[in-house]
Structure 1
Amino acid sequence: MSAPLRHADRQEIAGVLALFAHAFDNGEVADLGLVFTKDAVIELRRTGREVAGLDAIAEFSTALAEGDAPDHHTLDTVLVAETPGRVRARSRYLAVLPDGAVHNGDFLDVLVLTDDGWRIARRVSVPRYPLGEPLVPLPEGYVDPWRPTRSG
């Protein structure tokens, strides 16, 4: 059963998810601490790569900003509150690449409430298009915790 989520929490989480694209895509590593916890993990299902820790995420962002940074757009977010201080966010993303190609997929995020506000503790990036299987497919039922429950 999910815990209730206040409107103010929803607004703050929306701001964190929006700030990701600005901070990450532009290599603004000083702002990544406003998006991720210090021990956050980004899991890229297309490549099987896992980036662990705020310092590693900053290095990853900086390397991409030097020429290969996609232009992320996060939209259609659904929030599922699990417990007080822990929320799952399922968002659709569009990523425009430097050559004009467009990729899209889902961000499956786990956000936690820290002393400094809501932060992403884990992000799983699951590609959809261009067509093709991700290198590391999701296990059966993996996305279920990100689906809202239906009552009655």
Structure 2
Amino acid sequence: MSLALEDRLSVIELVSLHGHLVDDGSLDRLDELFTADVVYDLTDFGQESLSGVAAVREAAWALGAANPVAHHVTNVVVTAGADGRVQVRSKGLGIKADGSCGSVTYDDTVVRTADGWRISCRRVSARRTPLGGMTKPG
């Protein structure tokens, strides 16, 4: 399925908005990013998945000063599905207050709602090893 350029740009801006809202502490606006029943999968970090915008908001508040001071999203790849859903894969960089940095991959399912495009599922995977842990064969 093809995705209109206008929709593709809206989806990319949606994914980009995450860092601005979180870094600004505008957690009351997370419903601009996520569906009400979003699944936010943090299992790669040894945590359970969060269900719903309120749970995502509360988890961010609970993390408090341990939150990154800056979230940067790059390398956004948008793939439209035949079912109307859009798969988005992007890279995230988080900068902590002490200057340390971490990298993640976001795998998002994005759906069109009455309020516009929203993320219905986000899986966050930590990037811990170069080349995805692969080594040269032979």
**TM-score bucket of the superposed structures, by smaller chain:** 0.7 to 0.9
- Runs (5+) with no aligned partner, structure 2: 131-138
Displacement, 1:84? 5.1
How many residues get paired?
A: 128
TM-score of the aligned structures, taking structure 2 as reference length: 0.85
SS at match of 2:25: coil
- Indicate if the aligned counterparts of 1:25 and 1:61 stay in contact, CA closer than 8 A: no
Is the alpha carbon distance of 1:62 and 1:27 closer, same or farther for their aligned partners in structure 2, counting shifts above 3 Å? farther
TM-score of the aligned structures, taking structure 1 as reference length: 0.78
Which structure has the highest helix share of the two? Answer: 2
- Indicate if the aligned counterparts of 1:12 and 1:118 stay in contact, CA closer than 8 A: yes
- For residue 126 of structure 1, what is the amino acid of its counterpart? S
Greater alpha carbon shift after TM alignment, 46-55 vs 101-110 = 46-55
SS at match of 1:48: coil
Match of 2:91 in 1: 92
Give the alignment's Cα RMSD to 1 decimal. Answer: 1.6
Match of 1:138 in 2: none
- Which of these residues, 14, 33, 43, is aligned with residue 41 of structure 2? 43
1:61-140 pair list within 5 angstroms: 61-64=60-63, 66-70=64-68, 71-83=70-82, 85-129=84-128, 131=129
- Which of these residues, 2, 5, 9, is aligned with residue 4 of structure 1? 2
SS at match of 2:16: helix
Runs of 4+, deviation exceeding 3 Å: none
